[in-house]
């Protein structure tokens, strides 16, 4: 039996993954952005151990969330499922960052750096990462004209880079990314053609399965099949540049 923490698990893909894990006899810690969503999560997944609250757009709240996860005791797996989609305009966080970067990149980075090291890490990216730009000249979109689709694609490429950087640095941790597909979530919309259950099942498979195909590190999967990634994702120099940037803006370095 494993204990798994899933960010963004008050609904959608994360909640479905939580249900699958509980049905298989595992323990789950849920996460919600605020109290209202936490109450919804408790009603929907009553068997979960607990629901932690934290707004991942805030550096301070994300750090506090990491402390609360650690206070519960070690989790064998952490699934970084939370994310925000494309926005019509640049939204700034309380820290002055682009919302897409703060939630999709910096929050997983901080939680990875601050939560007691698990056995497995799963980062939920997107096939749109293939259109991402790995450059860090203006990741907060402070000087460029805003492009919501590009900002989202960039953030999901950075997330794959983070997953692979952790796999390279932490040889005793299985760190992988997934592409859940265009699934009918709030982000994907009701007309999305992919199977939501298959995206959740891949999260679960990487988090707890003893299948040799799941016990690997530094890969990206779509419906439990290895997926091609952006060539920049595997460049260690770009990975290190991303880690340095996240450390600089957050004040937290990823342990070696």
Q: Which of 156, 186, 215, 248 is catalytic?
A: 156
With 0-12 CB in 10 A as exposed, 13-18 as middle and 19+ as buried, what is 40?
Answer: middle
Q: Tell me whether residue 215 is one of the annotated catalytic residues.
A: no
> Catalytic: 245?
no
Of 152, 215, 222, 245, catalytic? 152
Which residue, 113, 106, 178, is CA-closest to 140?
106
How many Å apart are CA 2 and CA 26, to the nearest integer?
5
**What does the alpha-carbon distance between residue 82 and residue 95 come to, in Å, rounded to a whole number?**
19
* Beta strands in 76-159, from DSSP E residues, in sequence order: 77-80, 120-124
CB 131 within 8 Å of CB 150: yes
Q: Which of 122, 127, 128 is nearest to 203 (CA)?
A: 122
Q: How many residues does the chain have?
A: 256
Question: Which residue, chain included where needed, has tokens 């757009």?
Answer: 57
Determine which helix (DSSP H) or strand (DSSP E) holds 4, and give its type and residue range. Answer: strand 3-6
Q: Which residues are catalytic?
A: 152, 156
């Amino acid at each position: 039996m494993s204990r798994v923490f899933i960010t963004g698990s008050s609904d959608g893909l994360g909640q479905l993954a939580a249900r699958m894990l509980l049905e298989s006899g595992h323990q789950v810690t849920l996460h919600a952005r605020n109290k209202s969503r936490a109450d919804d999560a408790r009603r929907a997944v009553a068997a979960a151990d607990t629901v932690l609250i934290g707004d991942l757009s805030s550096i301070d709240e994300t750090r506090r969330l990491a402390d609360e996860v650690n206070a519960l005791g070690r989790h064998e797996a952490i699934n970084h499922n939370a994310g925000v989609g494309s926005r019509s305009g640049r939204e700034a966080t309380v820290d002055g960052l682009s919302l897409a970067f703060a939630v999709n990149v910096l929050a997983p980075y901080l939680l990875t750096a601050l939560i007691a090291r698990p056995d497995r890490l799963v980062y939920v990216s997107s096939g749109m990462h293939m259109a991402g730009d790995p450059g860090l000249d203006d990741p907060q979109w402070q000087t460029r004209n805003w492009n919501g689709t590009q900002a989202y694609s960039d953030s999901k490429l950075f997330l794959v880079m983070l997953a692979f950087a952790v796999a390279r640095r932490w040889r005793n941790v299985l760190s992988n990314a997934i592409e859940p597909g265009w699934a009918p979530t709030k982000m994907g919309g009701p007309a999305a053609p992919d199977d939501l259950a298959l995206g959740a099942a891949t999260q679960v498979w990487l988090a707890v399965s003893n299948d040799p195909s799941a016990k690997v590190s530094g890969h990206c999967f779509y419906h439990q099949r290895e997926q091609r990634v952006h060539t920049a994702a595997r460049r260690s120099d770009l990975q290190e540049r991303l880690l340095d940037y996240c450390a600089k803006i957050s004040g937290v370095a990823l342990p070696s």
